[in-house]
Structure formats: C-alpha cells, structure tokens
Amino acid sequence: MLKKVSLYWSLLVGLLTIAGQVVTFSIRFGRWNTDAFILDYLLIFLAGAVGGWILIHFMNRQSSSDARFVVLIAFLLASPIALFLMIAGGLLGIPGILLLPQIPWALFVWIGSFVGKRLSRS
C-alpha cells in the first residue's frame, strides 16, 4: 500500500498556478501585470488549489507509483488548457475563474487514472 499524498501539496499547485499566470501575462504583453488586484491572484490561487485537490484525490486512489506518475503526467498535460480557460473564465467573473479550469484538470486526470490502473495491472 502506498503512502497517501498530503492535501498540503494542493497549496503548492495553487502557487504554481499563480506563477503560470504571471509568466503567461508577461509573455503575452511583454511586461508584468502591476495593475492586477490581490483578489485576482487570490482567485487564481484558489482555482489552482482546487485543481491540486483533484490531482491528489486521484493520485491517492492509485495502487502503484507508476499509476500515480501517469496521473501526474495527465495533470501536467491539462495545465496549459486549464490556464487558458482560467484567463478566458475571467470574462465570466468569479465562477468562470474558479470552475472552468477544473474541467480539463478533472477530465485529463480521470482518463490518466483509468490508463494508470490499466497499466499497473499488466
């Protein structure tokens, strides 16, 4: 039996999501986003932390470290899509920022969980 992944790691995913948004903004506009409110970063952090909770939930359901690795790779593959949806979700307000990025993360991680379970059986 594998040791469970702590939920505190979801906080790290939230911080990395903020870093991803800052890098995306600086690449797109060529400058730092000094006009953003703290609420924007708080919402981005919360969306990333919820995504991290989804990742940890599916990682803890795996029976082997190989299956966990597949789930992690699936989450990383979905992250650019989730960041894009987070930016686009800003047009819909707070629910768009918090809910839209969860769709690709949950879908990819669920598929990764299924693939990981199949690979660990063989």
Q: Show me where the domains of the chain are located.
A: 9-121
Burial label, 38 (beta-carbon count in 10 A; 0-12, 13-18, 19+): exposed
- The residue behind tokens 């307000």 is 93
Sorted by sequence, the CB contacts under 8 Å of residue 42 that are 6+ apart come out as none
pTM beyond 0.85: the answer is yes
Q: What is the pLDDT of residues 12-49, one digit of tens each?
A: 999 999 999 999 999 999 998 888 899 999 999 999 99
pLDDT in tens, 49-77: 999 999 999 999 999 999 999 999 999 99
Q: Please give the Cα distance from 52 to 75 (Å, whole number).
A: 9
CA separation for the pair 12, 97 (Å, rounded): 18
- Taking the C-alpha atoms of residue 56 and residue 72, their distance in angstroms, rounded to an integer, is 9
